[in-house]
């Protein structure tokens, strides 16, 4: 018999967090014997999708200068109706050609509303396949707070119309879905917790840094990177620091940072051994994105979080404060970020005892594969 087929749709617009999580899930499905196609709608990122995953690259879309509500193509031109029509047709054709046993839609309808021009027709097409697939929504631990009238009801109606299950990539002892999604009880019969989608247990680090500073994909972490580069000069000279800017840092700016770095600091745009570096680190300094959180929890290291909070973003602040309350992180708010305050926060955090074991389920990727298999 042929392997069961899973079609995953993911759209990253600014950073690469959504893509990383979807790729981890796709890899776990491949390891479990599924034939997996991953349809990506953002700018290409080297190394994604991972080995064994079929790649469906739609004409890329990214967030414009106005944030998630404005869409641009790879060249910065506003996305028009013709472009949307092209993408929608390519996506539906890929679905119909692949004939999946299960479809996973990442985030929508709990987010990515700007993509409904293609996701809703895609879901309609999935319902019309000769053999209707299982349709699952894949959603992270904490949602962006949205107070627009009618938005929650619209989301619930969309779930009821199209989706069989909602895969919540969280451990309820850490973050229950209803804490950031009002009226979650209306979806109780569809919500399945998978645990957090962390990467596998990392290998022992090949080299050791006392402090590992990271800015995720680098699209929104410039202030942290600049402050951290200066902060490293204020620390004891025996402390080794590694600063990972993220692949979105412009090459000229990266070169300038490297040229001005002090002797205790090494700067990289990307490290594929980032999880291993955390295992050997005395302290992680980062934003509070989902995947970084998972890497920190997997490593069990001390952490200082500077959550991204511009343009009304609430998700990372909520996550950071939750970890602080649990005794798993120190927090410095983005609007307080400066070289002097970052230096003091780092000096305080690095001297603290290592956090106690948390006990959260970090096997969300494997559990997702198991849940899909049990329902097709």
Mean pLDDT, residues 73-79 taken together: 95
Q: How confident is the model at residue 64 (pLDDT cuts 50, 70, 90)?
A: confident
pLDDT for the residue numbered 219? 65
pLDDT for the residue numbered 149? 84
Element (H, E) at 330: strand 330-331
The number of beta carbons lying within 10 Å of the beta carbon of residue 344 is 14
Residue of 14, 24, 43, 11 lying closest to 111 (CA atoms) = 11
Least confident of 29-43, 123-137, 205-219, 304-318: 205-219
Residue pair 136/105 in contact (Cβ under 8 Å)? The answer is: yes
pLDDT for the residue numbered 1? 67
Examine the pLDDT at 65 and tell me if it is beyond 90: no
Q: How confident is the model at residue 235 (pLDDT cuts 50, 70, 90)?
A: very high
The pair of structure tokens assigned to 261 is: 């770095």
Non-local (6+) Cβ contacts of 184 within 8 A are: 176, 177, 178, 191
The pair of structure tokens assigned to 260 is: 């001005």
Examine the pLDDT at 52 and tell me if it is beyond 80: yes
Burial of 152 (0-12, 13-18, 19+ CB in 10 A): middle
Examine the pLDDT at 128 and tell me if it is beyond 90: yes
Residue pair 332/283 in contact (Cβ under 8 Å)? The answer is: no
pLDDT for the residue numbered 265? 96
- Architecture of the CATH domain 211-350: 3-Layer(aba) Sandwich (3.40)
Least confident of 64-68, 228-232, 372-376: 64-68
Instruction: Give the three-class secondary structure for 78.
Output: strand
Least confident of 41-55, 135-149, 216-230, 302-316: 216-230
pLDDT for the residue numbered 217? 67
Which sign does the torsion angle of CA 78, 80, 84, 87 carry?
Answer: negative
Phi/psi of residue 213, nearest 5 degrees: -110, 130
In the chain, % of residues over pLDDT 90: 84
Domain ranges of the chain: 5-196+362-375, 211-350
Least confident of 38-47, 148-157, 195-204, 219-228: 219-228
- 276, 277, 279, 282: CA torsion to nearest 10: 180
- pLDDT tens, 293-302? 999 999 999 9
Residue of 147, 112, 118, 113 lying closest to 22 (CA atoms) = 112
Examine the pLDDT at 227 and tell me if it is beyond 70: yes
The number of beta carbons lying within 10 Å of the beta carbon of residue 259 is 8
Give the neighbor-by-neighbor strand order of the sheet with 303-305.
265-268, 241-244, 211-214, 283-286, 303-305, 330-331
Examine the pLDDT at 309 and tell me if it is beyond 70: yes
Q: How confident is the model at residue 100 (pLDDT cuts 50, 70, 90)?
A: very high
Mean pLDDT, residues 96-103 taken together: 98
- Enter the CATH code of domain 5-196+362-375: 3.40.50.2000
Mean pLDDT, residues 338-352 taken together: 95
Q: What's the whole-number average pLDDT of the chain?
A: 94
H helices of the chain, where? Answer: 17-31, 81-98, 116-127, 151-162, 222-231, 251-259, 274-280, 290-299, 315-325, 339-350, 364-375
Mean pLDDT, residues 222-244 taken together: 94
Let me know the angle formed at the C-alpha of 202 by 315 and 38, rounded to the nearest 5 degrees: 60
Examine the pLDDT at 69 and tell me if it is beyond 80: no
Mean pLDDT, residues 170-177 taken together: 95
Tokens 């627009």 correspond to what residue?
Answer: 148
The number of beta carbons lying within 10 Å of the beta carbon of residue 80 is 10
Mean pLDDT, residues 96-107 taken together: 98
Mean pLDDT, residues 69-87 taken together: 95
Residue of 355, 314, 308, 350 lying closest to 333 (CA atoms) = 308
d(CA 309, CA 318): 10
What pairs with residue 6 in β-bridges?
36, 102
Residue of 123, 128, 104 lying closest to 24 (CA atoms) = 104
Would 5-196+362-375 and 211-350 be classified into the same CATH topology? yes
pLDDT for the residue numbered 268? 95
Examine the pLDDT at 273 and tell me if it is beyond 90: yes
The pair of structure tokens assigned to 369 is: 């594969």
């Amino acid at each position: 018999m042929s392997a069961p087929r899973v079609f995953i749709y993911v759209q990253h617009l600014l950073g690469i967090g959504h893509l990383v999580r979807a790729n981890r899930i796709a890899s776990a499905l491949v390891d479990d014997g599924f034939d997996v196609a991953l349809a990506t709608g953002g700018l290409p990122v080297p190394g994604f999708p991972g080995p064994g995953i079929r790649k469906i690259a739609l004409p890329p879309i990214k967030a414009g200068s106005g944030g998630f509500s404005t869409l641009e193509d790879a060249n910065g031109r506003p996305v028009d109706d013709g472009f949307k029509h092209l993408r929608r047709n390519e996506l539906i054709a890929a679905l119909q050609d692949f004939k999946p046993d299960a479809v996973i839609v990442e985030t929508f309808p709990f987010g990515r509303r700007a993509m409904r021009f293609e996701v809703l027709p895609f879901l309609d097409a999935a319902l019309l396949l000769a053999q209707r697939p299982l349709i699952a929504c894949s959603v992270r631990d904490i949602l962006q707070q949205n107070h627009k009238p009618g938005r929650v009801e619209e989301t619930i109606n969309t779930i009821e119309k199209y989706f069989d299950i909602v895969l919540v990539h969280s451990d309820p002892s850490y973050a229950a879905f209803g804490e950031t999604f009002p009226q979650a009880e209306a979806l109780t019969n569809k919500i399945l917790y998978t645990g957090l989608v962390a990467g596998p247990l990392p290998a022992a680090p090949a080299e050791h840094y006392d402090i590992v500073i990271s800015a995720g994909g680098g699209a929104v972490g410039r202030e942290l990177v600049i402050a951290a580069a200066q902060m490293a000069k204020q620390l004891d000279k025996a402390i080794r620091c590694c600063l990972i800017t993220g692949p979105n840092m412009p090459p000229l700016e990266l070169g300038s940072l490297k040229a001005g770095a002090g002797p205790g600091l090494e700067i990289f745009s990307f490290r594929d051994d980032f999880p291993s570096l955390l295992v050997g680190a005395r302290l992680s300094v980062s934003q509070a994105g989902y995947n970084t959180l998972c890497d920190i929890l997997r490593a069990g290291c001390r952490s200082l979080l500077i959550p991204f909070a511009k343009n009304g973003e609430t998700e990372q602040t909520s996550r950071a404060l939750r970890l602080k309350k649990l005794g798993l992180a120190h927090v410095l708010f983005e609007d307080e970020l400066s070289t002097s305050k970052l230096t003091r926060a780092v000096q305080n955090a690095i001297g603290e005892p290592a956090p106690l074991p948390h006990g959260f389920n970090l096997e969300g990727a494997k559990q997702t594969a198991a849940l899909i298999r049990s329902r097709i």
